[in-house]
Structure 1
Amino acid sequence: MFKILLIEDDHSLFSEVKERLSQWSYDVHGIHNFGEVMNEYTETKPDLVIIDIQLPKFDGFHWCRLIREHSSVPIIFLSSRDHPTDMVMSMNLGADDFVQKPFHFEVLIAKIQAVLRRAYNYNNDHNELKSWLGATIDLERNRVSNDKGSIELTKNEMFILKVLIDRKSKIVTRDELMNRLWDDQRFVSDNTLTVNVNRLRKRLTEIGLENSIQTKVGQGYMAIEKESL
């Protein structure tokens, strides 16, 4: 049974979502003190966090940023705010998906299932360590390390990197990446993929792997095979 921490201050919505998710055998926990979210997160040890943007004391962006400093746990934002910058901000902070209120419960379930599959199933690959451009890719720990340092990636970032290095020197189309990530493109915006790839590139630059993922205009992305940076 997956444990979900639902950070939502609308009591009626929280109760409804908890009841519906419980019917799918998810163990749903809420927040008692919205000024102590990190303490309750640490005590709960969830497999997935669903968080609203507008919350008492501090907004969801604040708590997402703090969670990402300590963990790569999957995060889904749930919000009535519909400005594109909210989605971009959530992805830049390391969120895995964004659901806009009001929503069809079937859509929320589909996104939860897709995020959990990405987070906890793909790492069952028999080869949990990969080598690329002198770096070690640790699929189990979502970590990339080389002689210049080590970075920890989000589940989405690692999944994208894994798909690209499995096909290194070959173009992977945006459509294929979106299908592999979210199973159904109807549940994701094209901009979300762009944000995730850009964030992955920025993290790789921190350990000297700038330009290691190339954009092929009108086609997709490609991980280079030889160290020619």
Structure 2
Amino acid sequence: MYKIMIVEDEEKIRCIIQSALEKWGFEVCYAEDFSKVFEEFVEKKPHLVIMDINLPVYDGFYWCSKIRAIAKVPILFLSSRSTNMDIVMAVQMGGDDYVTKPFSMEVLMAKINALLRRTYSYVEPSLEAINYKDVILSLRDNTIYYNNQSLELTKNEFKILYVLMKNHETIISREKLMQELWEDESFIDDNTLTVNINRLRKKLNEAGLEDFITTIKNQGYIIK
């Protein structure tokens, strides 16, 4: 069953679309906090997004570009804005199709089904990111997204954070972290691991993520 996420702040329109999608057998979710659309997208893992442009906090173009940084899921814009510039902007931000309001539900459903067929005929959907407590780690470009800012990591910093986030709430020993880095044919000794963790912590602190990684004496590290 495909899951579709609706990003629409007009409840009446959202409910109409949701009802139609559910009748077609789709699983439906929708944005609840319009300041955290990106985080909700990562958490809910939809196969397709229906995106309005005029939204509270940030517009649909902004959220589309954020989503595009980590995922290739189809994004269909649904908006009352119908100028050529709006449509061009939607495409440039990574949108796959555009429907103007007022709209025909039959046309909308046809476009949704066409996008799903084109996108998932031969490949399974995948979300190339990990999300924990609104900290999003992109597996595509070694970047952290948090609180509407992005932070690039070195290869080793990324590997360390990936292991810790993937195993959150679990203590990971220094030996385990060094093994993970060794598997990638990157030689790393105990002192180098300490340097990388300290640099990673400094970057996290600068992004407002103080104490994101906790040291457990004589055991290792944990994200909790």
Q: Which structure 2 segments of 5+ residues have no match?
A: 127-139, 142-224
Is 2:39 the counterpart of 1:49?
A: no
| 1:47 positional shift | 0.3
Moved over 4 A (4+): none
- Measure, in 2, the Cα distance between the counterparts of 1:71 and 1:14: 23
Larger Rg: 2
1:61 alignment partner in structure 2: 61
Aligned residues: 128
| 1:21 positional shift | 0.7
- Measure, in 2, the Cα distance between the counterparts of 1:101 and 1:78: 7
1:22 alignment partner in structure 2: 22
Deviations 1:145-167 (A, max 9, x none): xxxxxx99xxxxxxxxxxxxxxx
| TM-score computed with the length of structure 1 as normaliser | 0.53
Deviations 1:111-150 (A, max 9, x none): 00100000000459xxxxxxxxxxxxxxx99xxxxxxxxx
Identity %: 45
Is 2:4 the counterpart of 1:39?
A: no
| 1:90 positional shift | 0.6
| 1:31 positional shift | 1.1
- Measure, in 1, the Cα distance between the counterparts of 2:32 and 2:97: 24
1:100 alignment partner in structure 2: 100
**The residue matched to 1:53 in structure 2 has which SS?**
coil
Equivalence map 1:199-218=2 (5 Å)? none
- Measure, in 2, the Cα distance between the counterparts of 1:58 and 1:84: 21
Tell me the C-alpha RMSD between the 2 structures. 1.9
| TM-score computed with the length of structure 2 as normaliser | 0.55
Q: Which structure 1 segments of 5+ residues have no match?
A: 125-139, 142-150, 153-229
- Measure, in 2, the Cα distance between the counterparts of 1:102 and 1:33: 25
